[in-house]
Each structure stands twice: as C-alpha cells, then as structure tokens.
C-alpha cells in the first residue's frame, strides 16, 4: 500500500498537503516544488469532493492559471483544464486582471490576482 509523508492525506493514489501559510501564487507553486510536489491539479469531481472535506473555512491556491493567455486556464503540469468547478460568474478577470485560481471555503473556484496573499495552498504528489 502507498504511504504518504507525515501530515499528507492519501486519496486515490495521490498525497495532498493543505498548507496554511500566506503568500502569492508564485510562492505557493515554488513551495510545493520544494516538497517534490505540485500545486494541486484537480481532474474530476471525486478529487474535488475529497479536497472539499478538508478546507476548514479557508481559501487555498490551486495549480490553475491563465497568466500567459487570458481565459486559457492551464494547470501547472501544462495541461489545459477540462474539469472545472467555477463559482457562479467566475472566472471574471475582475478589476486589473485575475490570472490565478483559489479554492474558496465551500470548494468553488474563483480567479483572483496572483499577487494576493490568501490563507494557503494545496500541494499534491
Ligand atoms: C469579488 O465578492 P467577493 O469579494 O467574494 C468577485 C470575484 C473577485 C474578487 C476579488 C461576484 O469576490 O470575482 O475575484 O471580488 N466576485 C464577484 O477580490 O464579482
Ligand atoms: Ca485572467
Ligand atoms: Ca474572480
């Protein structure tokens, strides 16, 4: 059986770490890489539902962004998003532009400014 590192949660063959630490999206991405992981890539409703069980009323960066091309949302492994869980009216690229994606406390996704300091991030490996 597969064992995850201490503090990481196992689901369907992947290990997840919910890091409650503030920082912009780029910092979160780097922090996951430093743990030989990636910011979480969410492929289906089962994975989304699992993550939703562990949010503890906080906002987390996920590994999705449209930095290079507006409204072309790409995961940190370079894949294009097929499954999505956008909140109603999102993504809206609000204000001066929102190119990074957070998971909100009820699990729905929202695009926000990549420079925002939110509650934390989720790593997957
Ligand atoms: C708005 O309402 P609030 O603050 O949760 C906006 C989001 C933006 C966010 C930026 C319905 O969210 O799209 O990303 O501000 N929601 C709506 O802070 O416009
Ligand atoms: Ca955008
Ligand atoms: Ca938004």
Asked if the interface predicted TM-score (ipTM) of this complex is over 0.95, the answer is: no
Q: Which atom of ligand 1 is nearest to the CA of 116?
A: 18
Decide: 89 in ligand 1 pocket, CB within 6 A.
yes
Q: Which atom of ligand 1 is nearest to the CA of 90?
A: 13
pLDDT tens per residue, range 9-42: 999 999 999 999 999 999 999 999 999 999 999 9
Decide: 94 in ligand 1 pocket, CB within 6 A.
yes
- DSSP per-residue string spanning 6-72: TT-EEETTEEEEEE---B-HHHHHHHHHHTT-EE----SHHHHHHHHTT-TT--EEEEEE-SSSTT-
The answer to whether 39 and 123 have CB atoms below 8 angstroms apart is: yes
Decide: 110 in ligand 1 pocket, CB within 6 A.
yes
pLDDT tens per residue, range 32-70: 999 999 999 999 999 999 999 999 999 999 999 999 999
DSSP summary character for residue 80: B
Phi, psi for 8 (deg, rounded to 5): -95, 150
């Amino acid at each position: 059986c597969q064992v995850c590192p201490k503090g990481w949660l196992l689901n369907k063959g992947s290990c997840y770490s919910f890091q409650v630490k503030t920082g912009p999206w780029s910092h979160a991405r780097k922090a996951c890489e430093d743990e030989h992981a990636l910011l979480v890539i969410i492929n289906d409703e089962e994975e989304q539902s699992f993550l939703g069980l562990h949010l503890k009323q906080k906002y987390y960066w996920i590994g999705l962004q449209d930095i290079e091309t507006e409204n072309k949302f790409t995961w940190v492994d370079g894949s294009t998003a097929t499954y999505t869980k956008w909140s109603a009216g999102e993504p809206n690229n609000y204000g001066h532009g929102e190119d990074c994606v957070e998971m909100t406390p009820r699990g729905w996704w929202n695009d926000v400014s990549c420079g925002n300091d939110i509650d934390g991030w989720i790593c997957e490996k």
